[in-house]
Structures are given as C-alpha cells and as structure tokens.
C-alpha cells in the first residue's frame, strides 16, 4: 500500500505517462533519474478530522519549477463550505504558473451534499476552465459526454473508489475516453491490484493502442499469469 511508496508506486513509474504526487514524496522517494512528467500537488488542506475544503497554497510556483514539475495540481471544492477560498487558491496558482509557462490542473472535489452527476461535475469543470485552468480532473459519471462537451479544456478522469473487478475499471476508462476524456488518473485501482504492472500495461494499451476493454483485460491476464 501507500505505507511503502518505494515498493508500491516506484516500480509502476515506467508504465505511466505522468506521475501525480506531493513535494515530499517527489523529493524523498521518487528516484532523481525519473524522467516522467510530474503533476505536482501544490495545494494543501486539512486532515480528515476537519473540513477538507479548507485549502491553501502549499507549494509556491518557484519551488515547483525547482522540482522540475510539468504542471501544478490544485483542488477545487465546488459546493463545499470553503468553495470561495479554494477557487481563490486555484486562480492564484494559475496566475503564478502563467508567468513561467507552467500549466495548472484543477482537481474537482465533491462537496458533501453534492451528487456526482453530469450536471454537477459539468458545472465544476466549466467553472475551473473559465477561471483559467489548462486542464481539469473529474469523476466519471453517467452522461459523461455532457461534462466533456461543456468543458473547453481537456478532461482527465479521476480513479475514484476501488472497483470490484479489473474489467470494470477498464470499461469505465474506455467509456470515458470514448466520451471525450484525454486520459485517466488512477491510484488504488492500480497499486492495490494483485498485478499492478499488468493493470498499468492494460490501461496503456486501452488509451494509446485503441484496445477494447476485453483486449486490455486479456493483456492484463497474460501479464498476471506470467508472474506466477
């Protein structure tokens, strides 16, 4: 699990297009020779003991550049008590990044009383895009094409909770790509899998080689069986 990122995440880096992480993990765990683009989490917030939407700027843009980040990632809590503050953090991050040509990924978070449907997620993505975010990360939902069609910047699918099967993951990623997403940002559905490398390879094939979910699943099974 995430207790030993050096064992669970680092071996997966070669199979990812981009690595999204915090400054501390990048400095202390990710090997310096890692040449993958980095989407650096630059907003910081409260723990789970308090209101999650109370965020601030945790990493200044100059430090993100020193760390060779490719993009900044900032949470935007639409419909949460501190929505206004998180949007302020987002816009200040976008402004700082624009000075240096560093793009900002807006990560749409869900307010406690908001439903993850196309109407809400579409509104959240549109707000972030209109504030200047260069791309947006959000959850897959029914009617996802309404989210992507209404957002003028690229949309990345968030991983969400761990699913019951590998095929289920591959199907929702495939459907999301078909409905306009440019990629996916997965976590536990890869590193908590019985064969994380196989899952990463299957997702690569799905996104970059136009595999169907069934073809990608067969690739996953081949990799999994080869490790036995």
Strands 19-22 and 38-41, how do they pair?
parallel
Of 173, 176, 175, 195, nearest to 186 by C-alpha is: 173
Question: Starting from the edge strand earliest in sequence, which strands make up the sheet with 19-22, in order?
Answer: 19-22, 38-41, 71-78, 104-110, 135-138, 155-158, 183-185
How far apart CA 195 and CA 6 sit, in angstroms, is 16
Does the active-site annotation cover 137?
A: yes
Looking at residue 15, what DSSP letter applies? G
Choice among 112, 137, 146, 179 that is catalytic: 137
- Residue 25 has a CB neighbour count (10 Å cut-off) of 17
How far apart CA 119 and CA 143 sit, in angstroms, is 9
Looking at residue 3, what DSSP letter applies? G
Residues in the chain: 228
Active-site residue numbers? 137
């Amino acid at each position: 699990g995430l207790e030993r990122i050096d064992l669970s995440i680092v071996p997966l880096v070669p199979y990812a297009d981009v690595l999204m992480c915090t400054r501390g993990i990048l400095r202390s765990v990710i090997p310096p020779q890692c040449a993958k683009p980095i989407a650096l989490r630059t907003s910081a917030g409260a723990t789970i003991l308090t209101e999650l939407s109370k965020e601030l700027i945790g990493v200044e843009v100059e430090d993100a550049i020193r760390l060779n980040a490719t993009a900044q990632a900032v949470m935007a809590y639409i419909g949460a008590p501190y929505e206004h503050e998180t949007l302020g953090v987002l816009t200040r991050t976008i402004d700082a990044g624009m000075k240096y040509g560093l793009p900002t990924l807006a990560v749409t978070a869900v307010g406690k009383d908001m439903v993850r449907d196309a109407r809400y997620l579409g509104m959240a993505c549109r707000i972030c895009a209109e504030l200047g975010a260069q791309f947006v990360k959000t959850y897959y939902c029914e009617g996802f094409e309404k989210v992507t069609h209404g957002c003028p910047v690229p949309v990345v699918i968030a991983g969400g909770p761990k699913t019951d099967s590998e095929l289920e993951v591959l199907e929702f990623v495939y459907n999301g790509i078909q409905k306009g997403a440019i990629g996916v940002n997965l976590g536990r559905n890869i590193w908590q899998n019985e064969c994380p490398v196989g899952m990463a390879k299957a997702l690569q094939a799905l996104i970059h080689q136009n595999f169907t979910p069934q073809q990608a699943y067969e690739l996953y099974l081949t990799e999994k069986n080869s490790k036995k």
